[in-house]
Amino acid sequence: MTRFFQLFAVGGLAFCLTAQLALAHKAGPDPRHTGAPGDDPQACATSGCHTGTALNAGGGSVAVTFPNGNVYTPGQQQTLTVTVADPKLKFSGFQMSARLATDPANGQAGDFTAQAAQLVLCDDGSSKGSKGCAANVSIQFVEHSVPSTTGIWQVTWTGPATNVGDVIIYVAGNSNTQMSTPDGSHIYTAKFTLSAGGGVKPSVSQAGIVSASAFNPKAGVASGTWLEIFGSNISPSTRGWGGADFVGSQAPTSLDGVKVSVNGKNAYVDFISPSQVNVQVPDDAAIGPVQIIVTNRDGSSDPVTVDKAALAPALLAPGAWDVGGKQYVVAQLSDGSFVAKTNLIAGLKFRPAKAGEIVTIYGIGFGPVNPGTPAGTVASGTTALQNKATFLFGQTAGDLACTGCYAGLAPGAVGLYQFNVKIPNGPSGDVALTVDAGGVSTKQTLFITLQ
């Protein structure tokens, strides 16, 4: 990206710069050509700087890579790598700025320091001196002062002194086939969002790793089950996964740079916050002691060793369903009612289940299914649990083989099992429910109300 080519009138005649003078002025554009809000939206592609293809239409790209991923640590310096890729690139340039996400047009974020063959301009067009830009000047722009033949620059940027929220890096790159003319240029723009990191690696305690608490926090660790991991400095952001985080039917192994490994394999990350991360354990044949490590942009936690079992079954029975000293299982009837005595929990419809009715109950950690559905995959269609499950209502087994019965993964969910069980003839009132899968019990004291 070059400055405007100048024409000098001498004796009434206009003379273009010689190639030598043109080369001397290949020092990057004036400020405000990154394509950011408040800047030239065409980033020099059609504003007189260059002529060639339309913006971002040259068959190439400009990108920035960050040594710590998409995160900054307040006050910490890092080296960013700018790369212009173009099949016809012979010479190239760039301009970059860092803006506050809350004010991308005029909010400067952090501070640039020029490296070799670079300069830093202030918003008023002056060069940034040792004392920085003038107090009334808002934005800095780092750019080339000498074109590159590789399309690669190393840029020094220091993050804001404090956590100012997200920072957006705007960059424009130019690919040219020759230095002596702006003709034939390809201009590309891109932007990247950085979140604030604390500069402190995450920490997890031995007691901070439990099974999904809405099921049974003491269920244990097994392939395909769900864990809640508690600690500190896990993530500066709080969110769950969304559709954009999936690749087809595959769940993400990272959210905003937060990852979890179980026995060296990446888990599937469902939720992150400063003090908690929820994951589905990846498939792995290992049984016995395994290490769990939480990693984010600032580093990795010390490993925590846990015992991994072949199965860790548990049924959905959240704390809110512990009423009067009894933990009721979440079971639903075909009419939408939940199974328990009337008015068990305000705002929900309850009634006892009758013999012969089918109730739907959900679980985790019940093991493999047919056809095989790997951990981290959205279940498609119906599956069949490989390990035989037994549901005992008191001492009487429910039916999992009837018409309308089911034991497998819940279609459309990740790692969630669905059981459609036919209520047997037998006891009434609050009846103990015990469940076994492959010889392993759910380790829960549960009740369901029958009549």
Residue 19 DSSP code = H
Per-residue CA distances from 53 to 46, 95, 155, 321, 434 (Å): 9, 18, 27, 64, 70
Instruction: Supply the pLDDT for residue 42.
Output: 86
Q: H or E segment at 22?
A: helix 19-24
354 C-beta neighbours (distance < 10 Å), count: 13
| Dist. CA 403–CA 378, nearest whole Å | 25
CATH topology for the 203-309 domain: Immunoglobulin-like (2.60.40)
Instruction: Supply the pLDDT for residue 182.
Output: 62
Instruction: Supply the pLDDT for residue 142.
Output: 97
Return the ∠ at Cα 30 (arms to 26 and 32), rounded to 5°. 135
3-class secondary structure, 132:
strand
CA within 13 Å, CB half, 304: 22
Instruction: Supply the pLDDT for residue 131.
Output: 73
Smallest CA-to-CA distance from 314 within 175, 426, 222, 442 is with 442
Residue 386 DSSP code = S
- Each domain of the chain, given as residue ranges in start order, spans 7-196, 203-309, 314-450
**CA dihedral of residues 360, 366, 372, 377 (deg, nearest 10):** 80
Global pTM reads 0.65
Identical fold at 7-196 and 314-450? Answer: yes
| CATH architecture of the region 314-450 | Sandwich (2.60)
CATH topology for the 7-196 domain: Immunoglobulin-like (2.60.40)
DSSP calls for 25-59 = T-S---SS-SSSTTS-TTTTSSSSS-EESPTT-SS
Tens of pLDDT, residues 47-83: 556 667 899 999 999 999 998 778 888 888 999 999 9
What parts of the chain have a pLDDT lower than 70? 1-27, 46-51, 179-184, 198
